[in-house]
């Protein structure tokens, strides 16, 4: 099926992205996976090449481009190059942190923080999840108490992507225990603030180069000027920004599933068994036919989500539909493709093996499949 999502500008941009990835990322990627950390300098290089921070306003050194199709191109090319951890890191900056800092900041805060994102010299993180609190944001225990011209922050966060390397961390904290959903606020904690410490890098089954850490806050005095988005607005601001985060998962999952499928399609016609190419067996052809159909149908929905987002019309419900369905599809596609590789699919030298562990988290973070269904179900019930 012919896609009509992209223009010539996007395809020219694709050439730039592909060349950058193969020059600056692919040669170092295995080392990053082993060290569980991506070199900071590559983010600055990615910004100069236009892969990162396109939405930073021009007045702060960015391009001011608001077209999610460019981000989708990066996802597709990163999937083809098998550098998933790198793309997740870019997505964390563009789909989460930067989106908060362009939407919720005061003019003074923008002047302080956005120029660093424009150059790629500042890395951000979003700290919501706690040891006992995942999707249930109202269960957050981290507290912030006003004390003069500062807030005193205490608590712990876990599973924080880029937690080891972040210069700025957007932290969700409870500021009024009696105010219900209006009792939460967001704060920007900066590297070096006394009482802000980082724990160990968490050992994950996949996405090894994407550092994930525990964060600790012990009587951290956060200046009142670092309150983000208004007191008591924390939960509402988190909820309003989840569709963009889930949009990122939709595009990443779609690109990842497609890349693994194309790799497998080539593999089964190169691999021979019982005197024939594996792809010549009817069972294999049927499997490929089913996956190709599912991917094309899902791609149509994903592309419509991108266009809806660009038009400001992507609803939380549609983002939830795309997030759960396409991430679950990716899980099925990767598993089936690994099976078609036979024993070689279990070897990490084959991209499908790494994809098997890298993509498993897609149905979990940014809201589990079960939470997505609950969002959709509540909308139907209303």
Residue 56: CB atoms within 10 Å: 26
What is 125-232's CATH topology?
Butyryl-CoA Dehydrogenase, subunit A; domain 2 (2.40.110)
CATH 1.10.540.10 location in the chain: 8-122
Annotation marks residue 245 as catalytic: yes
Each residue's pLDDT expressed in tens, for the chain with a length of 382 residues: 678 999 999 999 999 999 999 999 999 999 999 999 999 999 999 999 999 999 999 999 999 999 999 999 999 999 999 999 999 999 999 999 999 999 999 999 999 999 999 998 999 999 999 997 766 777 899 999 999 999 999 999 999 999 999 999 999 999 999 898 899 999 999 999 999 999 988 999 999 999 999 999 999 999 999 999 999 999 999 999 989 999 999 999 999 999 999 999 999 999 888 888 888 999 999 999 999 999 999 999 999 999 999 999 999 999 999 999 999 999 999 999 999 999 999 999 999 999 999 999 999 999 999 999 999 999 999 9
Output the six-digit token pair for 299: 């791609």
In this predicted structure, what is the pLDDT of residue 343?
94
CATH 2.40.110.10 location in the chain: 125-232
Q: Pick the catalytic residue from 19, 58, 245, 349.
A: 245
Output the six-digit token pair for 173: 């904290």
Nearest to residue 218, comparing CAs of 237, 199, 202?
Answer: 199
C-alpha to C-alpha distance for 360 and 207, rounded to whole angstroms: 10
Whole-angstrom CA distances from 30 to 19, 37, 180, 272 are 18, 11, 46, 29
Nearest to residue 217, comparing CAs of 183, 184, 193, 247?
Answer: 193
In this predicted structure, what is the pLDDT of residue 272?
87
Q: Residue for token digits 């396409």?
A: 326
Domain 236-381's class?
A: mainly alpha
In this predicted structure, what is the pLDDT of residue 134?
66
Whole-angstrom CA distances from 158 to 129, 198, 271, 284, 344 are 6, 10, 43, 42, 35
Domain 8-122's class?
A: mainly alpha
In this predicted structure, what is the pLDDT of residue 2?
78
CATH 1.20.140.10 location in the chain: 236-381
């Amino acid at each position: 099926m012919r896609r009509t999502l992209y223009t010539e500008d996007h395809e020219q941009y694709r050439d730039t992205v592909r060349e950058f990835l193969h020059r600056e990322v692919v040669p170092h990627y295995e080392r990053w996976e082993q060290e569980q950390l991506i070199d900071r300098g590559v983010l600055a290089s990615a910004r100069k090449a236009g892969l990162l921070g396109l939405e930073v306003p021009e007045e702060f050194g960015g391009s001011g481009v608001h077209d999610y199709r460019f981000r989708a191109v990066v996802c597709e090319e990163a999937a083809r190059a098998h550098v998933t951890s790198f793309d997740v890191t870019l997505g964390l900056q563009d789909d989460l942190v930067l989106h908060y800092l362009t939407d919720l900041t005061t003019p003074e805060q923008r002047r302080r923080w956005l120029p660093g994102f424009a150059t790629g010299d500042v890395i951000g993180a979003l700290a919501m999840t706690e040891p006992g609190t995942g999707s249930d944001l109202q269960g957050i225990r981290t507290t912030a108490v006003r004390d003069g011209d500062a807030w005193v922050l205490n608590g712990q966060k876990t599973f924080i992507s880029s937690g080891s390397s972040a210069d700025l961390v957007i932290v969700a904290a409870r500021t009024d225990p009696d105010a219900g959903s209006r009792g939460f606020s967001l704060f920007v904690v900066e590297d070096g603030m006394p009482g802000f410490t980082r724990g160990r890098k968490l050992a994950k089954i996949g996405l090894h180069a994407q550092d994930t850490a525990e964060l600790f806050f012990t009587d951290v005095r956060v200046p009142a000027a670092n309150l983000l988005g208004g007191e008591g607005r924390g939960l509402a601001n988190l909820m309003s920004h989840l569709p963009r985060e889930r949009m990122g998962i939709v595009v990443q999952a779609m690109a990842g599933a497609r890349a693994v499928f194309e790799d497998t399609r080539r593999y089964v016609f190169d691999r021979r068994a019982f005197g024939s190419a594996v792809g010549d067996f009817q069972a294999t052809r049927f499997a490929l036919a089913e996956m190709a159909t599912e991917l094309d149908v899902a791609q149509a929905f994903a592309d419509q989500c991108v266009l809806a987002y660009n038009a400001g019309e992507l609803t939380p419900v549609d983002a939830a539909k795309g997030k759960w369905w396409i991430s679950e599809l990716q899980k099925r596609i990767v598993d089936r493709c690994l099976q078609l590789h036979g024993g070689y699919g279990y070897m990490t030298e084959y991209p499908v093996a790494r994809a098997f562990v890298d993509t498993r988290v897609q149905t979990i973070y940014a809201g589990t499949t079960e939470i997505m269904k609950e969002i959709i179900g509540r909308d139907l019930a209303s």
